[in-house]
Amino acid sequence: MKSIDEDKMWITKALDESRRMKIKNPLLASFVIFGLPIDILLTVFFVIRKSYISPQFFLAYILCITWLNLGPYFIWYYERRVLADFFRRLQDLLPHQEVKNLFQKYRNIFARKFWILIIPWMSFLFVVYHDGFILDVAGTFGFKDPWTWLLSIPIIWIPIIAGMGSWGVITTVLVTFGAS
């Protein structure tokens, strides 16, 4: 029999494990574990290349940093709070065993099939890297510039987080259809 931790998305597991690192608040853990490395990278980049970054892209950097700090927390919150509460409320409408079966099935789907929506979100990378690198207008100097490759880390991380977050919406819709 699987433990309940096996049916959690890896981001949820990481934020739950942060309690062992003495970070009790999952929002703070999201900032420290997932956001801080990107925050440091983008801050250093901004300081070094400030004169090459247009004001329009500064806002994009801020939005990127915000999403990469908060996105993992939102995924954790969906799985630990929203989905669990949804199934608790569903018990008022359906027999207990049916709710239990739906919970196990869709919690497993949420935890293991999230990659399905990462694939279309990764098409975003085609736009970024196709026909000239979009970050060249945001402070990098082409593919020979090390910053181009360093900034690829958050650029790749954005659609991963977006795909996982979008998967929560799809999971909720699937549960609704599965319960009807």
Quick one: average pLDDT of 56-63? 82
Range of the domain at 127: 4-179
What is the number of residues in the chain?
Answer: 180
- Residue 133: the pLDDT is 66
Quick one: average pLDDT of 74-101? 91
Q: How does pLDDT run across 28-41, given as a tens digit for each residue? A: 999 999 999 999 99
Distance between CA atoms of residues 168 and 99, nearest Å: 18
89-to-84, 126, 128 alpha-carbon distances in Å: 9, 41, 42
Quick one: average pLDDT of 75-89? 92
Please tell me the total count of domains within the chain: 1
Contact 149, 129 (CB under 8 A): no
pTM metric for this prediction? 0.86
